[in-house]
Structure 1
Amino acid sequence: MRSSLSCEFCRPHVAPNGRAAKRARRATEEASSVSHDQDIESQRQLLSAPHSRGPATPSSGLDYRDGRQEMDHHLEQIPKDVVYIALEAFWRKFPELRVIHPSSFMKSFGSNCPRESKALLATVLAMTKTQKPDSDRLRSQILFPSERYASYACDVLAACILQPPDVKVIQALLILTLYEWGTRDFHKAWMHCGIAIRMMQLLHSSRVAPFPLEIPQRSEQNSLTPAIETRTFWACFIMDCMVSSGTYNPRVLPKQEMAKLNVPRPPTSTEFALGPGSSAQAEGAGENFISSGTATSVYLDLDQSFGVMADGFDIYSDVMAFVFNDGRKAPGMCLPENCPWVPTSPVACWRRRLEEWRTKQHHRLHYPANSVAAYATLGYGESFVYLNLLYYQSVVMLQREYFPFLPTIDMTPRGPIDPPTLEAEAPPGWWEQSAKELFEAAGHLSSVLREASECGVAVMTPFAGFCAFSSCYINLYGFMFPRIGVGYATRAEEYMNWSIEYLNKFREVWDLGDGWLKTIQNGSLMYQRATSDAQKYRGRSRFDFSVLHQSVHEFRVVDRSAQHLEEINNAERGAVSTGEGSNVSGDKANQNIGGLNPQALIDAVGSMDDQGLWPNWWSMLEDVDASEMFTMG
């Protein structure tokens, strides 16, 4: 029988923008309840807004001038206290972009507010609206959908990017980059990030070069200007690390370039808020700005969390570049001297850098020994979560590169089984320790995000979503192949459910979540088939599922569901054509490991059932007619 499907996301006959249209209608209803005197005009503009949460594009057509003027008026009329609330909400929810100085920004805000400030505020409101702010004042003043604010910002910034550099324009471009990445408009995100970096380099050069190539723009500076510009430069660095980790392109702004440009270390939160001389941080701390172990105070490390995060993203980006550029399959990576247990190997060097970064932090910043709740009460909950996500996500990416993509049900921890294999034997116990680190890291990713949600500091950013996706897939892997976890994946089922619960909420905010859930869905189908009919999958490796294997690593997620299903189809059809596809009744004992039936996630065309995904996504659906899965091609 086919599974009964109960939501529009799962049904093939529903248009792809069905959920987005419902969100747009909800946004319209919100606007109609708060627009008061401007009801008629506001509704006319809202109803003409795009019915999607899709990419922001510059406005065009007859309504361009009216729409622009209306948004200008709307932004100018927002009360100052609401602007402060929006800035504070943005600061908390997006730790990687803590670059806007509230008091400096408010000096330029008012009836004669420059266009750069209005564009920056529009990007902040676009991002804040996605997070469903809990402030009644904020909800009543953010009248328009996120894409409307982002589209307005695009219009304004398009006219600013060839003008002399302005730090507010750079900040707006960075925020727009994150918004566009979340809405899967990757090309625009990549371009806007690059423009922001070039503008920041030009601005920095005009400040520090002995003979600037261009006459710097005359602008009023104060003691806070260097701190704001330096932090914005490091935000460019972080965003470059983030978006580059989702592509095959090298980073535009590697750390060596930051050093060549003599960019100072990021100011602490206290220095950023109050100006230089307000922190106890030692002068000239340079690269070793974080004291080791327990010698420094927790507060000092939290005060420096933005700089700590920048160093973490530097390591994470290098790890992702290794994975994206063929990982262990890259030329020479399987030679004895490059095996991961060799201290001088690239993987060992990255792991050592990661551990050094971790040990430089105060031990009270380490999860799970310390709780999210404690830091949420201090106002640093999101920063605490981010630092731990960076660490455990990097561990997962390094360790899983060497595990078999498609093991057998009785396989214990070991290295790659598909070519190229490692040309040396690992020391005794090395693979068991690697499995321990892999599954513990995946579990911590899931639990730290869950605790954050329970404590009211839910982190719903593209990077956090990618961490949840990675955790979910590894825990699915450990649940389907329990022996490869050697006792370290005993809670894999629970962690998997937590990650799916998170991703279901995440996809209501960002379109990225849909692609990740589909990859999990298709991976679960492959693993279920491999464990229930082992004979058909004998000898299969990641080469037979190269597209699915690629999707498992993608931050720049592309929906390749049709190709995933075709690979599964071809694997089974190939087994049948060679006489290996006979019915293996003896494998029924492995068919539903612990009650899991990932096959129930799939309908005839690979759609997904919301109800079936959360919280027990294998027990809420009826059986599936599996024969319909293999009618493709």
Structure 2
Amino acid sequence: MAQISDLPPPKPIQDRFMGTLTVERIQSFLMLGLFEWSQENAPSAWMYLGIAIRMAELMRLEQDDRRMAILENQASDTKGFEKRSPEISIIRETRRRTMYSCFILDRLMSFGSERPLSIAVESMLIQLPCSEMAYDLSLEVYTGLLQPYGGSSQPQINDDSTLSRFINLVEIWGEISRYISMGGRLQETYPPWDPRSTFYKLREKTTAFNEDLPGTFTLSRQNYYRHDNHQATSTYVSLHMLASICQIVLNREYLPFLPLRSRGPQGPPIGNQTVLNFAPDRFWEESAEDVFQASRNIIDLVGLCKEKLPLSSLSIFSIWLAGFMSVYAHHFPQIDTSHRLGEQAESPHMGENLSMLEQGQAGTVCQALRRAATYLPSAQRYLDNLEAVDRCFTQAKNSTHGSLSLRLGEVGHGSELNQTGSQDKQRRGVYDMHRTNRSPMSASPKTRNSHRPMLEEPPKPTSSTSKSQLSLLGIDEGPLAMDTPKIFVDNIEALESQRMSWVLNDLEAFSGAGSLRVAFLG
């Protein structure tokens, strides 16, 4: 019988978890990161994603197609290479999807200098994922590259899918997220209608993307049910949720947070107001309508999905954005000139005793958030903030002395309320120095959706939320908690022209780089 001293020493725990590089191990870390992200355990989620990306890069998955082509050419020369087996096609597609899963989460969970991107789009030298039919049947198809490179002819694209379109949109979202994190409109040198401005270029990209969608991928009730028949609604819904997020986050950049003195859509009251007064006809109206139409699209999707709504951080964030704009449109209807969110649904349960969060478009949003709160802690947090926003806007409109009780969290951000024009100018041009010089894409005016489905009756609200019990080796359990000082703002004028993204801090909360900053005191 062997003695204990004769047994080999146990492997270090790091080797047992990460000693062998496999696609399955990468997928495991991606799933852990995705779960931790959904449970608002941002440090663990960020670390798990980082491990998965490093493993994928060590396996060179982003160059898989090129490497496999070289190996196949060598095999054909030496062994009379025959037709590729279906199993090989499935393995290669699985490796592609694993790498693109890393890419998607990298774009969604990165924000600002503290959460930099890990994967450069230029490094993705593998073709986009194929359609589910081509995947199931092991068909040999070509879907194109995420960023086609010049200098050599490319095969003709003969397959398309909502997943490949979603990945293209994720890259556009990554650019919008970086633009917002670096100051948004504060760093612009040109007005937003100038083709040289970053805002204009990003807006053209989102427009071109939507117009380039095939007819079967566009947003409509019929297309939703077509995808539902093939159990493919999750990617379809996520595609249009993200498309709406891009429209809202980008176009709200020039919407004033508190338009108390505005008679209609107009540029924010800032130091360079003279330039903004020379906007082309209906520029501000169309920009505002993009925000409200995108919000309405999200609410319509929620009504279509009902219990099939994907429970993900992305979908809950999109519902929050639509909910905020619904509250905004209710309190400031002069901004929503087309009444995309201003119509109240007729219901026998509606009455004078119901708050605006229990009826109409905002009511639809709150119902969806209450259902999701059982599984996603962020849903309850967004719901609480919607109630606080409603109280804030009500108090701001009713105030006669220009004062508002508002508490801002996060260290070091309170001074931004008193930024001067000269300080704003120092931030201009920063974004373009970090981006490649791409010419703006031409696009014609967008077509808009008019379908308006309604949500079913809500279940009883629940206060229970699930909490993650996972932790990383060497990292304290649970999310990082900081007792940050609070800053009280009593001057409504200080908030009137502030950027929505800065006041709400919701992009940081979505990515995991921060939390909702504002607590409104009723």
Query: What range describes the TM-score normalised by the shorter chain of this pair?
Result: 0.5 to 0.7
2:166 corresponding residue in structure 1: 309
**Contact 1:439 1:474 survives alignment (8 Å):** yes
Paired position in structure 2 for 1:37: none
Residue of structure 2 equivalent to 1:604: none
Structure 1 residue 167: Cα displacement: 0.2
Q: SS at the partner of 1:354?
A: helix
The one of 169, 186, 195 equivalent to 2:25 is 169
Cα displacement string for residues 552-594 of structure 1 (whole angstroms, at most 9, x for unaligned residues): 4431465557x624xx5xxxxxxxxxxxxxxxxxxxxxxxxxx
> Residue 391 of structure 1 aligns to which amino acid in structure 2?
A
Number of residue pairs aligned between Structure 1 and Structure 2: 379
Q: C-alpha separation between the residues in 1 aligned to 2:516 and 2:104?
A: 28
- 1:519 deviates by 2.1
Alignment partner of 1:438: what SS?
A: helix
C-alpha offsets along residues 315-338 of structure 1, whole Å, 9 cap, x if unaligned?
Answer: 1121122112221122xx1x3xx3
TM-aligned CA deviation for residue 274 of structure 1: 3.2
Query: Which amino acid letter does the alignment assign opposite residue 52 of structure 2?
Result: A
Q: Counterpart of 2:503?
A: 549
Counterpart secondary structure, 2:519: helix
State the partner residue of 2:370: 504
Aligned counterpart for 1:360 among listed residues 209, 212, 221: 212
Q: Indicate the residue corresponding to 2:240 in structure 1.
A: 388
The amino acid that maps onto 2:289 is: K
Name whichever of 526-535 and 268-277 sits farther off: 268-277
- Which residue, 131, 141, 144 being the options, matches 1:268? 131
1:487 to 334, 338, 347: 338
Q: Compute the displacement of 1:443 (Å).
A: 1.0
CA distance in 2, matches of 1:157, 1:527: 53
Who is 1:250 aligned against? 116
**1:265 counterpart letter in structure 2:** L
Q: Does 2:516 match 1:564?
A: no
Unpaired runs of 5+ residues, structure 1, are 1-155, 213-220, 290-298, 569-628
Provide closer, same or farther for how the CA distance between residues 158 and 491 of structure 1 changes in structure 2, counting only shifts above 3 A.
Answer: farther
Give the whole-Å Cα distance in 1 for the aligned partners of 2:199 and 2:222: 28
> Matched residues in 1 for 2:237 and 2:365: separation?
15
Cα deviation, residue 442, structure 1: 0.7
SS in 2 for 1:351: helix
Which residue in the other structure is 2:494 paired with?
A: 540
Alpha-carbon shift at residue 414 of structure 1 (Å): 0.5
Matches within 5 A, 1:83-122: none
Q: Is the 8 A contact 1:504 1:513 kept in 2?
A: yes
The question of whether the paired residues in 2 share the 8 Å contact of 1:404 and 1:418 is answered with no
Aligned pairs (5 A) from 1:212-361: 222-245=88-111, 248-258=114-124, 262-277=125-140, 281=141, 283=142, 285-286=144-145, 301=160, 304-330=161-187, 333=188, 335=189, 338-361=190-213
Amino acid at match of 1:447: D
Report the counterpart of residue 413 of structure 1 in structure 2.
265
Q: Once structures 1 and 2 are overlaid, which stretch shifts more, 506-515 or 465-474?
A: 506-515
Taking structure 1 as the reference length, the TM-score comes to: 0.55
- Residue deviations 1:577-614 (CA, integer Å, cap 9, x gap): xxxxxxxxxxxxxxxxxxxxxxxxxxxxxxxxxxxxxx
Deviation at 1:548, TM superposition (A): 7.3
Q: In the alignment, is residue 469 of structure 1 matched against residue 320 of structure 2? A: yes
How big is the alpha-carbon RMSD for the aligned residues of Structure 1 and Structure 2?
3.2
CA distance in 1, matches of 2:389, 2:237: 27
Give the CA deviation at 1:188: 0.9
Whole-angstrom CA distance in 1 between matches of 2:163 and 2:333:
38
C-alpha distance in 1 between matches for 2:122 and 2:49:
19
Taking the aligned partners of 2:274 and 2:101, their CA distance within structure 1 comes to 39
Q: Which amino acid aligns with 2:304?
A: E
Q: CA deviation at 1:268?
A: 2.9
Residues 174 and 236, structure 1, Cα contact 8 Å, conserved in 2: yes
Q: Cα 1:284–1:372, aligned 2, differ >3 Å: closer, same or farther?
A: closer
**TM superposition shift of 1:379:** 2.0
d(CA) in 1 for partners of 2:400, 2:226: 47
Partner of 2:427: none
Paired position in structure 2 for 1:188: 44
CA distance in 2, matches of 1:498, 1:419: 38
Q: Mapping of 1:565-584 within 5 angstroms?
A: 565=520
Q: Aligned partners of 1:526 and 1:415: how far apart in 2?
A: 22
- 1:521 and 2:387 are equivalent in the alignment: yes
Give 1:421 shift.
5.0
Q: Hey, what does 1:198 align to over in structure 2?
A: 54
How many angstroms apart in 2 are the aligned matches of 1:411 and 1:404?
Answer: 12
Instruction: Pick closer, same or farther for the CA change 1:317–1:285 going to 2, 3 Å.
Output: closer
2:40 aligned counterpart, secondary structure? coil
Partner-residue secondary structure (3-state), 1:365? coil
Q: Using the alignment, how far apart are the partners of 1:435 and 1:543 within structure 2? A: 15
Deviation at 1:341, TM superposition (A): 1.2
CA contact (8 A) 2:326 2:342 kept: no
CA distance in 1, matches of 2:271, 2:38: 35
SS in structure 1 of the partner of residue 308 of structure 2? coil
Q: CA deviation at 1:419?
A: 4.9
CA distance in 2, matches of 1:468, 1:246: 23
- With normalisation by structure 2, the TM-score equals 0.66
Greater helix fraction, Structure 1 or Structure 2: 1
Q: Which one of 443, 449, 453 corresponds to residue 302 of structure 2?
A: 449
Partner SS for 2:99:
helix
1:475 Cα deviation from its structure 2 partner:
1.0
Residue 377 of structure 1: how far off its partner (Å): 2.3
Amino acid at match of 1:494: G
Over 3 Å counting, the alpha-carbon distance change for 1:545 and 1:305 in structure 2 is closer
| Superposition deviation, residue 191 in structure 1 | 1.0
Determine the C-alpha separation between the residues in 2 that align with 1:264 and 1:347: 29
1:431 equivalent in structure 2: 284
- Say if 1:177 and 1:288 are closer, same or farther in 2 by CA, change over 3 A: closer
Work out which of the residue numbers 224, 227, 231 in structure 2 matches 1:375: 227
- What amino acid is aligned across from residue 314 of structure 1 in structure 2? E
Q: 1:390 to 1:160 in 2, by over 3 A?
A: farther
Report the CA distance between 1:352 and its aligned residue.
1.7
Q: Secondary structure at the match of 1:564?
A: strand
Percent of aligned pairs sharing the same letter: 19
